[in-house]
A and B are shown apart, each in its own frame.
Chain A
């Protein structure tokens, strides 16, 4: 077992699955010789050849649509989009075809594809390189939207995403691509999709988050523990379909919830979670649900990105508010 970063875990999962399943192929811009702009696919071309690791022309719509064509033929394509800000050109294919193929052929064809994209801010990237628009995909029936928040979950969830017979949008929080290392056993063991992960148990408040925002959420839980507040921290991980059960059970126990995400607040996945809790756990709630999110604005250029991103103090402050009630 070796200590690896999140991006290395992505690479490990791809290599494992390619070695064990010939139908797994990788395609995207600069994924072969260059190993991807973040090096997620480094070494794969050398190991598995350029028939299975394919540099595509620079056209995201084409990448998404070619992925659909490969998938309906029984291949298991893993398409890389260099940044989430560029995946939009491929959304027609993902929404109109990948997500609907099984349904519109009544199971005659299906689309076992993974659409990978790094997302989120915090790395001083140029314009269009820092957005968190996961809610756009969570809204689409027929898609799974999965977001890892650690090297171990990146490994296990990516394996699960590739093995899943339906399309998965796999969003990688690039701010924590190399932030921490974690021991990851390269044993091909997948983690479950459609399941939240409880990262820390607590009794006073439930902190719900995903992706890179879990860094601030966990740090806030640490700080709150020092103040005598016991916070349960849940990594939603699969934002669609949503594991409401785990969230409801936690809130039934704590009576309070704070939802933390980097994306804009308006129409964000936090709103769906809050609505679900309000609908099904209203009588358990001892305080209003609170969201700590990005602002409803264009992602600022990097000089101001920290002012946009939820900070530890924002989470702590929100918890103090709900605890006071």
Chain B
């Protein structure tokens, strides 16, 4: 036994709320193309998000979880990951998924009640989003264990919300990632609210990042609305993972600017003042301000980007709305690799049934 044990959690922030650099920026600041691509993805995600909500409100899409306020986190994840890394997302990772190659039409199909919305063509090994909270953390360590067994230098990025850190799945996975030194990065999207439960009631921990320490992992806090802080934290963590140095927990601090889902009404449990203050720290606006100030951006470019994003989204919506439902037999055809005899009679009953809801 030692006399005492010390642990620390570092906190990263490079930009202030208005997008002014607080000091020296990391190297990625030199990569203008990447900065512009990141901003474009943030705007595309936000445009898509608004449209998905509108579709739900008009009865053309099912319950949908807004990604408003999480665009920077997801964009950075999508940019920092290598193609052959594996993303293990939860349901507020649209920005990362779009970067990984999930199409807007696929996202709409999923939330529009169609299983084909997770049959992604462009990132075949990424996991489908996990709806049961934190369960995906265990999958992430399993995927990472497969990499370790096969001696592959690949990494897993696992996303979850602040509420998910209260669950055993997260803590058990952090524990295993430490014990087996697995190549995983857990990105905790701390958006302050788990539906109506505020961060303060979720845990007595001063930070969420410190939960990493219980598993022997480094935990770091990054401003989730600061592209540079997020990129720096994620690249360091991915580098550690790929070089056999094990897992990291990143607490990405942001604010859920929308309702939990379209079925929620956040005005029931949080104040307009709090929301107004959170908008002042918006990461997309902050990125725009930064780019503008550095001379990489102007009103004309902004107008063109907005129009382009709108166009992409409209095209995706058209494709989504034009997609016929699967035949009724599809509901049993993907249960097993081949249909068990026991299900044949039920499949026969489905054959020829009229198609599902549009």
Please list the residues of chain A having a beta carbon within 8 angstroms of any beta carbon in chain B. 25, 51-52, 54, 56-57, 59, 61-62, 64-75, 77, 92-93, 96-97, 101-110, 141-142, 144, 164-166, 194, 240-245
In chain B, what residue has the closest Cβ to A67?
Answer: B142
Q: A109: which B residues are within 8 A, CB to CB? A: 125, 127-128
Q: B342: which A residues are within 8 A, CB to CB? A: 194, 240-244
Given A96-B135, A241-B342, verify A68-B142 contact (CB < 8 Å): yes
Asked if A73 and B336 sit within 8 Å, CB to CB, the answer is no
Given A109-B127, A141-B335, verify A65-B137 contact (CB < 8 Å): yes
A280 to B330, CA, bound (A): 26
Asked if A103 and B139 sit within 8 Å, CB to CB, the answer is no
Given A52-B149, A93-B135, A96-B132, verify A62-B334 contact (CB < 8 Å): no
Asked if B340 and A97 sit within 8 Å, CB to CB, the answer is no
In chain A, what residue has the closest Cβ to B139?
Answer: A69
Given A69-B140, A92-B135, verify A62-B146 contact (CB < 8 Å): no
Given A72-B139, A97-B139, verify A62-B132 contact (CB < 8 Å): no
In chain A, what residue has the closest Cβ to B339?
Answer: A241
Q: Does B124 contact A (CB under 8 A)?
A: yes
In chain B, what residue has the closest Cβ to A68?
Answer: B139
Asked if B335 and A102 sit within 8 Å, CB to CB, the answer is yes
The A-contacting residues of B in range 108-150, CB under 8 angstroms, are 115-116, 118-120, 124-125, 127-128, 130-132, 135, 137-149
27 contacts between A and B (CB under 8 A): A51-B148, A57-B176, A57-B179, A59-B176, A62-B138, A62-B141, A62-B169, A62-B172, A62-B175, A65-B141, A66-B138, A66-B141, A67-B142, A69-B139, A72-B127, A73-B125, A73-B142, A77-B142, A93-B135, A93-B138, A102-B335, A104-B128, A108-B120, A109-B127, A142-B336, A194-B342, A240-B342
Majority secondary structure of chain B interface residues (helix, strand, loop or mixed): helix
Q: Distance in Å from the Cβ of B159 to the closest Cβ of chain A?
A: 15
In chain B, what residue has the closest Cβ to A108?
Answer: B119
Give the residue of B115, B144, B146 whose beta carbon is less than 8 angstroms from that of A106: B115
Asked if B149 and A65 sit within 8 Å, CB to CB, the answer is no
Q: Distance in Å from the Cβ of A189 to the closest Cβ of chain B?
A: 20
A58 to B330, CA, bound (A): 39
In chain B, what residue has the closest Cβ to A51?
Answer: B149
Asked if A69 and B179 sit within 8 Å, CB to CB, the answer is no
Asked if A69 and B341 sit within 8 Å, CB to CB, the answer is no
A101 to B172, CA, bound (A): 21
Asked if B132 and A65 sit within 8 Å, CB to CB, the answer is no
Given A59-B168, A69-B146, verify A108-B124 contact (CB < 8 Å): yes
Q: Distance in Å from the Cβ of B121 to the closest Cβ of chain A?
A: 9
A144 to B336, CA, bound (A): 9
In chain B, what residue has the closest Cβ to A193?
Answer: B340
Q: Does B337 contact A (CB under 8 A)?
A: yes
A61 to B334, CA, bound (A): 25
Q: Does B343 contact A (CB under 8 A)?
A: yes
Q: Distance in Å from the Cβ of B139 to the closest Cβ of chain A?
A: 4
